[in-house]
Copies of this chain bind each other. A is one copy, B any other.
Amino acid sequence: MFKEIFDNVKNKKPLIHNITNYVTVNDCANILLACGGSPIMADDKDEVEEITAVCNGLNINIGTLNKRTIEAMLIAGKKANELGHPVLLDPVGAGASKLRTETAFALLKNIRFSVIRGNISEIKTLYSGNGTTKGVDADISDSVTKDTLDSAVAFAKSFAEMNNTIVAITGAIDIVTDGRKAFCIYNGNPMMSLITGTGCQLSAMTSAFVTANPDKPLEATATAVMAMGLAGEIAYQRLNELDGNSTYRNYIIDAIYRMTPEQLEKGAKYELR
C-alpha cells in the first residue's frame, strides 16, 4: 500500500495549514517539506478562514495554546469542515491543565476530525474527561507494551468509533485504528522520546498523508506513523559516539526526506488486529 500513498503525497504536494505551538513549529514545517507536503502557519482569527481555504488540510496542535489561538483553532476547524478538508488534532498535554483539557473537548465538540494523534494519556483524557499527563509524554503506567496491547487496542477502537475518526496512539508500540481495523506498529527507537516534538512532527506529516489520500485515511495515517518510526531507526543507525539528540533530530527529518516506499515496504513492522 505504501507506494500509492507515498506517490500521492509527492505528486499532490498537499498544502497544510498548521495552527501549532511555537516550540516545535520549525521542525513541523521542515518535516512537511521533507515528506513532500508544503506548510503554512497562520493563527490570527482574522485570516485563518482564508488561509485554510487556500490549503488542502488543517493540523491543529494545542501545545502553547492561548486564548487568541484557541479561537483561531475553532474558526479554522469549522471552515475546514465546511470545505471538506481533512483536519487533524494533536491534543498536546490534554489532562495537564483545565485549559488544555477543555480546549480539547471544545475542539472535539465543534470540529469533525479525520485523525486524532496523541500519546495514550492524552487520548485517555479525551475519552474520559480526566486523566494525567506528565508533561507531553505518556505516563509510564499508561504506556502501551505487549502486556497492555490488547486492552489498549480495544480502547483505541472504542474511542475511534465513538468519534468516527482515525485515532493514532503513539508510544513504544503505536496503534492506528478507525474503530474496526487496527494497525499495531513496532517501528521506532526509544531515543525519539529524547527529542522535543517527534509527536508534533508526526502529526504534521500525518496531515499531509491523509490530505493526499482522502479515500484511505486509515492506511495513510498508519503509513505516516510507520515512516516516522522507520526514520527514527535509520537516523539512530547513523549516530556516532559523539552525536546526541540534536543531530538525531536532524537525521530523522533527513530520513523522511530520503524515504522511499520501497524502503518502508522493507522496514515496516506491523500487524493488524
Give residues in A with beta carbon < 8 Å to B. Answer: 15, 21-27, 29-30, 33-34, 38-44, 46-47, 50-51, 54-55, 63-68, 93, 96-100, 134-137, 194-197, 234, 238, 241-247, 249-258
Q: How far is the CA of A65 from the CA of B27 in the complex (A)?
A: 19
Most chain B CB atoms below 10 A, which of A97, A137, A246, A247: A246
A249 — which chain B residues lie within 8 A by C-beta?
30, 246
Distance of A256 Cα from B253 Cα, bound (Å): 21
Q: Are B54 and A134 in contact (CB under 8 A)?
A: yes
Q: How far is the CB of A95 from chain B (nearest CB, A)?
A: 9
> Please, which residue of chain B has its CB at the minimum distance from the CB of A67?
B44
Instruction: Tell me the minimal C-beta distance from A81 to chain B in angstroms.
Output: 19
Closest to A72 in B: B66
With contacts A24-B26, A66-B68, A196-B26 taken as known, whether A40 is within 8 angstroms of B245 at the C-beta atoms is no
Question: A182 to B236, alpha carbons, bound, how many Å?
Answer: 41
Please judge, given known A-B contacts A96-B54, A134-B54, A253-B246, whether A66 and B43 are in contact too, CB under 8 Å.
yes
Instruction: Give min CB distance, A142 to chain B, whole Å.
Output: 15
Stoichiometry, copies per complex: 3
Which B residues are CB-close (under 8 A) to A258?
241-244
A23 touches which of B41, B100, B196, B238 (Cβ 8 Å): B41
In the bound complex, do residue A255 and residue B250 qualify as a contact, i.e. CB atoms below 8 Å apart? no
Instruction: Indicate which residue in B42, B44, B65, B245 contacts A254 across the interface (CB closer than 8 Å).
Output: B245
Query: How far, in whole Å, are A215 and B240 apart by their CA atoms in the complex?
Result: 36
- 19 pairs, CB–CB < 8 Å, chain A vs chain B: A22-B22, A30-B249, A34-B245, A39-B196, A40-B93, A41-B63, A46-B67, A46-B97, A47-B99, A51-B96, A51-B97, A55-B135, A234-B242, A238-B242, A242-B255, A243-B254, A246-B251, A247-B250, A250-B250
